[in-house]
Amino acid sequence: MRAGSAISLGVAIVLGGAAAYLSKGLIQPGASGATKSSLAGTAVVAAQPLAFGTPLTPDNVREISWPSENIPDGAFRTVEEFLKDGRRVALASFQKDEPILSQKVTGPNQRATLSTLIEEGKRAVSVRVDEVRGVAGFILPGDRVDVILTRGENSQSSDKASADVLIQNTKVLAIDQIIDEKQEKPTIAKAVTLELDMQQAQKVVLAQGIGRLSLVLRQAGEAEAAPARRVLASELSAGEIIEASRKEAEKVEEKKVPLRAVALVPQPLVNVIRNAVKREQYTVHSERSPVQVTSADVPEKAK
């Protein structure tokens, strides 16, 4: 029994070693093949930092190895494929080795204009803003904003004033003439261009004629629409109403034009002789400046 057990144990060890050897041989080629496969792809990237509007050429783009399964959507595989139909222009800023994506460059031989940034089915509409309505200049191209319409502010009854959320979660295409999404410096703009569908564009154009539009900056990545309803001036606290009235009064005071001083113009005199003994002088009134009537008596001549 002991001899048989030893033989059985030896056979088991030999078979186990053989199985381990064979499994190692089968697994390694597969793993090596998978590794080679994952490095088989290439992607076109920026060879140097590129600014918005930069023409893209073989001198400032290059292709590098990139895992095939991780190549981003819209990436180009080779420089030849990227430039074969003509020159392209950057529609965004690129960092060195950042993949060049089709949605961030123009089509072949196109210019870098605002129209190339608009998504299919969308429109670009500009909204007049000031420092307050433009969130103190902190809205930048690429941000998402809500549009609020305020109306009735100048009516005789302040209780009629109201605010409505007109549009939510719309993309900012440009600030004045700046359309670079990598713009980081706050800019006090006079106009903000929004990306809207046709119905939204109609609402904004109509709203600019009946009230005042303000922009509300959304948190980055927030996509859900927030519940919104009309807010009336009557819902504000007494302190808020007084403060709003004070600011409105200050605006009116600034618009007052000082009265211009008008110099009195000397008026012609008319002499009236009565019975050849008395003369009276009358000042003729003018529409430009009325003057008090004066008179003087002359001694009578001796008879």
- Grouped pLDDT means (10 residues each) for the chain, 303 residues: 59 63 53 53 94 90 91 92 90 91 88 82 88 71 91 67 91 82 69 93 92 89 82 72 60 59 56 55 52 49 45
Helix or strand run (H / E) with residue 199? helix 198-210
Q: Rounded to whole angstroms, how far apart are CA atoms 248 and 256?
A: 13
Q: Rounded to whole angstroms, how far apart are CA atoms 236 and 177?
A: 37
Do 170 and 108 form a contact (C-beta atoms < 8 A)?
no
User: What is the pLDDT, as a whole number, of residue 31?
Assistant: 46
| Residue 196 bridge partners (DSSP) | 123
Length of the chain: 303
The identity of residue 252, as a single letter, is V
First-to-last C-alpha distance (Å) of the chain: 186
User: What is the pLDDT, as a whole number, of residue 184?
Assistant: 65
User: What is the pLDDT, as a whole number, of residue 68?
Assistant: 87
Helix or strand run (H / E) with residue 2? helix 2-38
Do 100 and 46 form a contact (C-beta atoms < 8 A)?
yes
Contacts of 159 (CB under 8 A, 6+ apart): 232, 233, 234
Classify burial at 231, counting beta carbons within 10 Å of its beta carbon; exposed 0-12, middle 13-18, buried 19 or more: middle
User: What is the pLDDT, as a whole number, of residue 196?
Assistant: 95
Q: Give, in degrees to the nearest 5, the angle at Cα 89 between 95 and 116.
A: 110
User: What is the pLDDT, as a whole number, of residue 252?
Assistant: 57
Residues of the chain with CATH 3.90.1210.10: 42-112
Reported pTM: 0.53
User: What is the pLDDT, as a whole number, of residue 149?
Assistant: 92
Q: Rounded to whole angstroms, how far apart are CA atoms 179 and 118?
A: 11
Cα–Cα distances (Å) from 229 to 81, 148, 219, 283, 290, in that order, read 52, 11, 20, 69, 60
Do 89 and 56 form a contact (C-beta atoms < 8 A)?
yes
What is the CATH topology of the domain spanning 42-112?
Answer: Type Iii Antifreeze Protein Isoform Hplc 12 (3.90.1210)
Q: Rounded to whole angstroms, how far apart are CA atoms 46 and 43?
A: 10
Contacts of 112 (CB under 8 A, 6+ apart): 52, 53, 89, 90, 91, 106
Q: Rounded to whole angstroms, how far apart are CA atoms 301 and 104?
A: 107
